[in-house]
């Protein structure tokens, strides 16, 4: 798990342009603002890409997923339940959750896909 520090007062981690992880890594938002399902599916399969989720929402720990765990998380929780802010209605998963996926990079060039509870 990772405790994160807010760079500004906000209610939702993906609304930030940048945040700092407990290890001092500064993560900066990439473009596009939200990943579509096909891009998120493809990127989360790359072992070099870090993947985390903040399933509990703001103020909770991030959960960093291993390559094996992220594939399970994707299949069981996210696939078919990813909102891209285009106004389309996205069904909730079995837990009643819809996600948004954002991409982040740190100064060393590492890439992070963050799956965030949206509604």
| Cα gap 80→57, rounded to integer Å | 20
The percentage of the chain sitting over the pLDDT mark of 70, rounded to a whole number, equals: 84
| C-alpha triplet 21, 65, 113: angle, nearest 5° | 65
- Predicted local distance difference test score (pLDDT) of residue 57: 57
- Domain span at residue 36 reads 4-117
Number of domains in the chain: 1
pLDDT digits (tens, 9 = 90+) for 5-57: 333 334 467 888 998 887 888 999 998 889 999 999 999 999 999 999 986 65
């Amino acid at each position: 798990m990772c405790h994160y520090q807010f760079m500004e007062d906000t209610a939702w981690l993906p609304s930030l342009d940048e945040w700092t992880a407990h290890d001092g890594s500064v993560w900066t938002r990439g473009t596009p603002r939200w990943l579509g399902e096909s891009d998120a599916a493809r990127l989360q399969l790359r072992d070099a890409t870090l993947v985390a989720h903040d399933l509990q929402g703001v103020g909770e720990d991030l959960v960093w997923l291993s390559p094996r765990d992220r594939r399970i998380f994707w299949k069981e929780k996210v696939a078919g339940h990813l909102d891209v802010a285009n106004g389309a209605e996205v069904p909730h998963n079995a837990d009643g959750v819809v996600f948004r996926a954002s991409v982040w990079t740190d100064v060393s060039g590492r890439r992070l896909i963050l799956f965030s509870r949206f509604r």
